[in-house]
Structures are given as C-alpha cells and as structure tokens.
Structure 1
Amino acid sequence: MTSTMPNMPANAPPDARGALTLADGEPIIEVRDLCKRYGSHVIHEHLDLTVSRGDIVALVGGSGSGKTTLVRQIMGLEDPSSGHIRIFGHDITMIDRRTAHLLRRRSGMLFQRGALFSALSVFDNIAQPLRELHTLSEDLIRDVVMYKLEMVGLSCRHASRLPSELSGGMVKRVGIARAIALEPELLFLDEPTAGLDPEASDEFVAMVRGLHRSLGLTVVMVTHDLDTMVMLSTSVAVLADRKVLVNAPVEDVVRVDHPFIRAYFLGERGRRSLQALPAARRAKVSELLEDGK
C-alpha cells in the first residue's frame, strides 16, 4: 500500500504515523450517551468516548467497571440499552446485518488467552478468517498466513504446531496474527500482556507498537498492567462512576482529582510505572512523583 502521508520524523509519537483511508485524528469510534443495564443493574450511564484514527487507547477501571462490556458493545456483540455507537461513521445501533458484518471485518480482536481453536494447528487458526471469505485460493491463504507469522515474530516452523505446544507468549502472537489476517484498521486487545513474564511482556509491547506503526492501526486495549499502559498507550480512558471519567494522555489523567485515579496511578506501583515515561512527559507529573517519596 502506498502511503499518502508525508515523511514523519523517527521520533514522532505513535499517533502521528501511519494512515489508511482517513487522516490521523479523525474519529473512528464515537460513543455518545451510552447506557447499559442488566435488569436493575446499571453498568454504564450517559457514557461518552471518542477514539481517533492512530490512537492507542487503554481502557482502565476497577473490577466491574464495564471495560469488557464496553468493548463488546463497540464490536456489536452486545446491544446498548440506549445511546449511540458510531464506527467508521456508521451508527451500529441502526445499521442492517450486512453492513454490520462488513464493519466487523474492518476490526480484529485478541482475546485474553488467545482463544485459539485447540484442535487446529497454528496455520489453520490464522487461516480461519481468510477461509471464511470463500474467495481466496489455498496458495494465497498460505502466503498470507506465513506473512502474518513473520509479522508477529514467529517462523514458518511454528505453523504446524498445536496451541498446546506453544508458550503463553507465542499463543498471544498467534492470536494477533489471526486478528490481523484480514488487514483490519481497528484492533481490540483484551489484557494483552496478562500472564506474561516481564521480558515476554516487553517484547509483546514492542511487537504491538511495530504493528501499530507499520499497519496504521487504531488500537483499543483493556489492561490492568500499568507498565503496558504507560509504554504503549497514547491515551488512557478511565472508567469510573459508570462513565468515562477522562480520556487523555496518562500524564494528564493522573492530575485529575478522583479517588480511583489517585489509588490506581499514584500508589507505589503506579508511580514506578510513570517513571518510564519519556522525560518531557514525565516532567509534567514530576511534582506528583516527588510527593510520593
């Protein structure tokens, strides 16, 4: 694919690089006045969220705050009780089934444990969404699968293995390869580094960062991992009080005076993670980090 974007400096932020059909900064996801209830139990109430092209948005919040429920609604897997969700300019609460199917093909999903088919080989797991198109030859599918394996840092020798023969990190890489098999513009990640040791987690973050840059992806991830959030996200959306409390770069989020934000970001572990911010961004929260000493 030939990019129409001007050359960007090597140190440009992730959300300033990579474009597909829309300019960076144009909204891909727009959630407005969303309410979600299960009987009398209210999960979301008048929730708003915007995700722009090129963003890597981390969804964080306490247990039961509805992070995964929000993602499922955005993906069209659950219906909101009320409100509107626009994806690529289409209100998914009002479109027909065919349009919904076409929109879903423009996004990919990595589930928390990979969600690979245990009886299928790595090759067949990645090939599955390609075969569902019923338009590609097996030779072309083979070429695409091998290319996707290479993109996620795995060799062709892994193609014949079963998921049970892989490490946790490899399972997640195969899950990413399957998620990007159809060249999506939007990628959802559910706890992408959960269960990985620190080295494997850092390698996985680097891989996702590289894919984000090379494929021009917009990424929405649910995570509890503060290190992953700080290293990877361009924006953090905090779910609290049944809504998105703030959606901004982490150095701006931590300045919001709210009990959850103080506890989550400014405890000992949170302060340690914030130290990994680039110097210019870390300077914006230096007084908060100093207060914790």
Structure 2
Amino acid sequence: MSTPLKDAVRDLPLPAIGEPVIEVRNLTKRYGRNLVLQHLDFDVRRGEIVTLVGGSGSGKTTLVRNILGLEKPTSGAIRLFGEDLTQIAPADIRLIRTRTGMLFQHGALFSSLSVFDNVAQPVRELGKVPADLLRDIVMLKLEMVGLPCKHASKMPAALSGGMIKRVGLARAIVLEPEMLFLDEPTAGLDPRSSDEVVDLISTLHRALGLTVVLVTHDLDAMVALSTRVAVLAERRVLVAAPVEEVAGVNHPFIREYFLGTRGRRALQALPPERRAKLPGAALAPAFGTTGGSAR
C-alpha cells in the first residue's frame, strides 16, 4: 500500500451499529465449588467496540473463553453470530470461530517461527494455499498493521514489545474476521507504543468494519476506543453503557475505578460533548500521579 492505512481511512465513517452478534443470557460458570459467573447477561452489537473491565478474578477471561466456545458454561445460553454455542457440534463451533480473531496479552507468538510464519499459521491450518498467494496475504496484513515487510524474516526474540503486538494483530486479522477479541493489547508497553497500538486498533476498526471486544485495565485505551464499557463485578455485568454513563453509577468498584485520580484524568480526555455528561466527581482536578494508564 502506497498510503498508510490510517490516512487511507481517515475520512471513512465509523462502522454502523447493527444487530447483536454476541448474546449471553443467564450465564453461570463454576469450577468445582468456585463460582465465577452467575446469571450474567451481556450483548455486543455489530460494529461496536465494547470494553470489559473488572477487578482481578472478576471473570473477564472466563467470559471471553465461554463466548469463543473454548469452555462450556455451567448453565445459560451463548449465541455468537446467531448460533447457540451450547446447542451445536464442536466442529461447527470451530467454523464459527474462524469468523473471529484473537490478540493475546503478550502476543503469544510461536518463538520458533518467524514473523511471516506466525502470521501465516492460521491460513495454513485451513488447508493448502499457493505459496505466492500466502505471501501476498501475509505481507498485506503486515503492512496493514504498520510493519515493513523487511521484518517478515525476523524471529520474535528480535522484536520490541510494540512490534510483537503488531504481529499478533496481523495474525488476528489474517483470516479477515468479523470480530476481534483483544486481551490487554497495551499491557507492558511504554506510553508512546500504547498510543500507537490504540491508534492502530481504531484504524482497523474503521477500515475493516470490525466488531471489537476489548479486555483492558488501561483507562486511556478504554476511553479512547470504547463504544460501551461493560463492568464485571459480583459475578455479573453491573452495567454496559458509554463510559460517561458508567462513571455515574453508584457502586463501590465503579467509584474507585473511574473516579480515582487516573480514572478522572482519562475521562477528562473525552470530547467536550461527552465530557459534559460526566458526573461532577469525574471533573475534579486530576493531579498527583504520573503516567496515564491503570494497568
């Protein structure tokens, strides 16, 4: 591509919000005596970026694994792209899963494979693809995430943290999915690299019309990207709404998470029309700490 993707899509509208593509109803998940999720309801509509937030052990990863069909709920129903995952065969679940992409927290690249082979792996798993076509697919995806093709032959050990995230994103979109799941995409990155990854996610969302489910503790990323924020606490989703509405919910975890110094600083970066909807407590001066993210 002669023009960077960000510039090419700058004037494109955001994806239209459409029909529900994730519908979770009355979900309960337990491991032995450990009850993680209970009577949980959750929805994501096509074109949204929904961020899952919650304290450690609140069940964010468990919820994502159940949505992807990697685990079975103890009870309840999960519909992905209209299909009830609790009622269909494992082979059909795997087929539905090809319509999704996943970026893992630390990239989860295969250390023994080059950048090229890491990105190519999902394509190869689907069957034999002509070498020339495979090369074109991989190089296009690397370009889309801002990695020059000269890096294709490098091994993961030679990459910076930000480059690992980009390779992970290239692999996540290599099958042209409709939906992306991102697990702590900015974790472990310096502020500049974090901003670049957030910018890249926003660009891919706009360019590919993606639906995105984002798990993060990074308040800046959450505020910059989210259509809605879903707060997990007490084994359920307490609220799922635009962040300026969530910040006004009277709950101990929400007050601590969103109205502390870091939360206020992140919220005050909202555009003026959205900042005007924040509760007064969120507009108090946010001074006293360095750095802009809670991780």
Q: TM-score, normalised by structure 2?
A: 0.91
CA distance in 2: counterparts of 1:11 and 1:234, whole angstroms: 17
1:191-270 pair list within 5 angstroms: 191-270=184-263
Secondary structure, aligned partner of 2:76? strand
Match in the other structure for 1:104: 97
1:22-33 pair list within 5 angstroms: 24-33=17-26
Match in the other structure for 2:276: 283
Task: Please provide the CA RMSD for this pair.
Answer: 1.5
Q: Which runs of 4+ in 1 moved over 4 A?
A: 8-12
Residue of 54, 62, 79 corresponding to 1:61:
54
CA distance in 2: counterparts of 1:208 and 1:103, whole angstroms: 22
CA distance in 2: counterparts of 1:130 and 1:11, whole angstroms: 29
- May I ask how many residue pairs the two structures share in their alignment? 278
Question: Identity percentage over the alignment?
Answer: 65
Match in the other structure for 1:175: 168
Secondary structure, aligned partner of 2:23? strand
- Structure 1 residues without counterparts, runs of 5 or longer: 1-7, 17-23
Residue of 118, 121, 130 corresponding to 1:128:
121
CA distance in 2: counterparts of 1:77 and 1:102, whole angstroms: 13
Instruction: Please tell me whether the aligned partners of residues 36 and 80 of structure 1 are also in contact (alpha carbons under 8 angstroms).
Output: yes
Would the alpha carbon gap of residues 11 and 264 (structure 1) be closer, same or farther in structure 2, given more than 3 Å must change?
Answer: farther
Secondary structure, aligned partner of 1:159? helix
1:265 CA drift (Å)? 0.1
Residue of 83, 92, 97 corresponding to 2:76:
83
* Bigger mean CA offset, 161-170 vs 278-287: 278-287
Instruction: Please tell me whether the aligned partners of residues 36 and 42 of structure 1 are also in contact (alpha carbons under 8 angstroms).
Output: yes
CA distance in 1: counterparts of 2:206 and 2:129, whole angstroms: 27
1:15 CA drift (Å)? 4.6
Confirm or deny that 1:44 pairs with 2:37.
yes
Residue of 131, 141, 157 corresponding to 1:164:
157
CA distance in 1: counterparts of 2:90 and 2:253, whole angstroms: 39
CA distance in 1: counterparts of 2:199 and 2:207, whole angstroms: 12
CA distance in 2: counterparts of 1:289 and 1:230, whole angstroms: 13
Instruction: Please tell me whether the aligned partners of residues 58 and 229 of structure 1 are also in contact (alpha carbons under 8 angstroms).
Output: yes
Match in the other structure for 1:5: none
Q: TM-score, normalised by structure 1?
A: 0.92
Q: After superposition, what is the alpha-carbon deviation per residue over 1:127-180, rounded to whole angstroms, capped at 9, x for unaligned?
A: 001111114211100000000000000001000000000000000000000010
Secondary structure, aligned partner of 2:276? helix
Q: After superposition, what is the alpha-carbon deviation per residue over 1:187-226, rounded to whole angstroms, capped at 9, x for unaligned?
A: 0000000011111111110111000011110000110000
Would the alpha carbon gap of residues 149 and 9 (structure 1) be closer, same or farther in structure 2, given more than 3 Å must change?
Answer: closer
Confirm or deny that 1:143 pairs with 2:162.
no
Secondary structure, aligned partner of 1:95? coil
